[in-house]
Amino acid sequence: MPETPQPLPSLLPVPAEWPISNDTSLKDTGPNRRPIAFALGGLGGFNNHLGGALASATDRDVRPALISCSSGAVVWAGEYLKAIHTPGLTRDQRVASLHAAAEQAATRSNILPRDFRIANDAIIGLIGLPGMCRPLWPQYFLNLFWPPSLKTLTQRPSEVAWANTLANRLLPAAWAMPTRSSADIAQLADTLNQTGIAPDQAIGVVFNAFDPNRGEELLFVNQAAASWLDLSRPRVARDGTTPRIKYRAINDTAVQAALRLFAYGFDWKVWDPVDQVERILVDGAYHRQVILKELHAFELIFAMRPINDKDRNALPTNSLGSLTLQTEIGFNGSYDAQADALGLVNTIIQNHPGSSIAINGRSIHPVTVEPIEIKTSTNFFDYFIETLETYDQGLTEAHRGFAKHGFRS
């Protein structure tokens, strides 16, 4: 008797009953609070920088109305929401919980002392990161001895077919697999949705994943984010057909997609009930590390990024350094394009004083983006090594950024 195929993990449509507004420019987040947003960009082993920045926000009681995030920043957004929503904690205890999460990340990735950091990378490559991922060594060695397929034997030109087969076996796309438990993923989804939190206390959350087959970005939102993001505005793809950016509600499948590294390969499929298609999704940071332009309803956005585009001591002298530079340029390119778009709107407003300007029926206003960026360069062998020094840098830079805009401790 044939086995019944297992259903694919499913995405979740945005519920029709969620309130969606076209004009969020006059919204407020409570007495004596300025509606602000945090835009968090995740990056491998530098996410502790985000932890430090969020600890600074907690210490100064700077609470955003909305958080956008990608990749590992999704996990830090969850840590932040747990800290501020846990009842009975003092401000110091909330900050301490974020520091404890950073310590745990640093301990997990620093198996050997600091002077042996390269060895740490080698060990992580062999055994993986506990609770996050592990390498596919057994499958790799089995793959080496698997007989060639009929396609390889018959395809022409044969040397190209054999070259591709050799590359697939020696350098497979999938060389690791995620090991976060389904319970942890479900708990993180609940935290991001802020299940059980009063609506007037909930913070909007949006994060992304990317469908490389269709060139479409999926933005996953909770209910508190729906009206801030103007979900009702139509978005058109570059070819003028279907929307390139699509909204879905946050669930456990969305969280898994947001943390889906290239290293895990491209065999994991999900079902999208809205478009009635199967999708292969990857970590949204590969496409857009910082979700910025959707936050135009806010007058002030703190962009917290464990990367920068200028504090570089020297250009690469080897191919590994070149790969790192390519990653940095790609991440900065997607960020700069969005920041420049907001800057163009600011220029239009400045050049038309006293005029009422609207885009898509929504009144526009100047937007200030305050970068809170790491001040050290990324190294190839640091991509999965978290440190408390990175956390401290985020704390310091965020203190400076918040103070600049009048948020005092």
CB count within 10 Å of CB 329 equals: 10
> Cβ-count burial of 199 within 10 angstroms (0-12 exposed, 13-18 middle, 19+ buried)?
exposed
Confidence of residue 52 (pLDDT cuts 50, 70, 90): very high
Q: What is the pLDDT of residue 145?
A: 79
Region 199-205: what's the mean pLDDT? 94
Structure tokens at 193: 């949705």
User: What b/e readout covers 94-107, taking b as 16+ CB neighbours within 10 angstroms?
Assistant: bbebbbebbeebbe
pLDDT at 90: 96
Burial class (CB in 10 A: 0-12, 13-18, 19+), 349: middle
Q: Name all domains of the chain by residue range, CATH numbers in brackets.
A: 36-116+181-404 (3.40.1090), 137-171 (no CATH)
235 or 116: which carries more pLDDT confidence? 116
Closest CA to 399 of 39, 48, 68, 57: 57
Amino acid letter, 131: G
pLDDT of residue 6: 64
Sequence-ordered list of residues with C-beta below 8 angstroms from that of 367, at least 6 positions apart, any chain:
295, 296, 298, 299, 300, 301, 342, 345, 346
Q: Is the alpha carbon torsion for 130, 134, 48, 38 positive or negative?
A: negative
Q: Which residue would you say has higher pLDDT here, 155 or 245? A: 245
Q: E-assigned strands of 170-236?
A: 176-178, 204-211, 216-221
pLDDT tens column, 23-36? 544 454 443 346 89
CA dist., res. 149 & res. 90, Å (int): 62
Give the model's pLDDT for residue 235.
Answer: 57
The whole-number pLDDT of residue 228 equals 92
User: If we measure between CA atoms, which residue out of 96, 111, 56 comes closest to residue 401?
Assistant: 56
- Chain segment 251-303, per-residue pLDDT in tens: 999 999 999 999 999 999 999 999 999 999 999 999 999 999 999 999 999 99
Average pLDDT, the chain: 86
| Strand ranges inside 240-320, DSSP E | 245-249, 269-272, 277-280, 282-283, 300-305
Where do runs of H (alpha helix) occur along 89-147? 91-109, 117-127, 137-144
- CA 304 to CA 40: how far, in whole Å? 5
What pLDDT, on the 0 to 100 scale, is given for residue 167? Answer: 81
The one-letter amino acid code at 84 reads I
Torsion of CA 352, 21, 63, 359, to 10 degrees: -20
Question: Above pLDDT 70, what percent of the chain?
Answer: 87
Look-up of token digits 């970068």:
371
Whole-structure pTM value: 0.90
Tell me the per-residue pLDDT of 95-153, one tens digit each, with 9 for 90 and over.
999 999 999 999 888 877 766 767 777 777 778 888 888 888 888 778 777 777 766 65
pLDDT class of 1 with cuts at 50, 70, 90: very low
What is the share, in percent, of the chain residues with pLDDT greater than 90?
A: 56
